[in-house]
Structure 1
Amino acid sequence: MKEEHLFIVTYDISNPKRWRAVFKLMKGYGEWLQLSVFQCRMNGRRHADLTASLDQIIHHHEDHVLLMDLGPADAVDPRVTSLGKAFQAVQRESIIV
């Protein structure tokens, strides 16, 4: 398997219908942290697939999506200050299809 990186994906979508479409798409790629914020473990292929899918949903003059690459998922040690609920970096999980 290609090396996975840990990403924080955040978005500001101006239309509720498009926001729901992006939220639904993101649930298939990562763990929901907060309203419009996900953390995802992705290899290059999944990152490209997600980017292409988001590109088809959003309106480029009205919406904004940020995909922040934190580095190799198994080596990155995110320094996060979390108030309230605890933060834990997403771990690799097997997916049975």
Structure 2
Amino acid sequence: MSRHHERLYIVTYDIADPKRWRQIFKVMEAYGDWLQLSVFQCRLTARRRAALAMRLDREIKASEDHILILDIGPADDVDLRVESLGKSFKAIERQARVI
């Protein structure tokens, strides 16, 4: 599928148990780029976005954990503007990822 069908997502999570948190982090590394503690930026097709949500849903404990998947828009059309206070922020460049 062409990259024109990718959308940009910000995924953030609050996981109660450290063991589950590490597992969620490992899942997210396969789908996106780590921005900061519990925050990832992902370029995903609809199919990969659905697969990510299913994997995350299997890993969490719904009564204790919370994950937000924010749809920012078409990945190639988004002019991501980030205000960074404190440490510097470097925008993530598009790159191939082997899974």
Structure 2, unmatched stretches of 5+, are none
TM-score, normalising length from structure 1? 0.91
Question: Which residue is 1:10 aligned to?
Answer: 12
Aligned equivalents of 1:86, 1:39: Cα separation in 2: 13
Question: Which residue is 2:90 aligned to?
Answer: 87
- Partner SS, residue 32 of structure 1: strand
* Number of residue pairs matched by the alignment: 96
Aligned equivalents of 2:41, 2:97: Cα separation in 1: 17
* Deviation by residue 1:21-44 (Cα, 9 ceiling, x = unmatched): 000100000000000000000000
Cα-Cα RMSD:
1.4
Which structure 1 residue ranges, 4+ long, deviate > 6 Å from structure 2?
none
TM-score, normalising length from structure 2? 0.90
- Partner SS, residue 46 of structure 1: helix
Structure 1, unmatched stretches of 5+, are none
Question: Which residue is 1:40 aligned to?
Answer: 42
1:31 aligns with 2:70: no
Task: Give percent identity, aligned residues only.
Answer: 54
Aligned equivalents of 1:32, 1:46: Cα separation in 2: 17
CA 1:35/1:96 → structure 2, altered by over 3 Å: closer, same or farther? closer
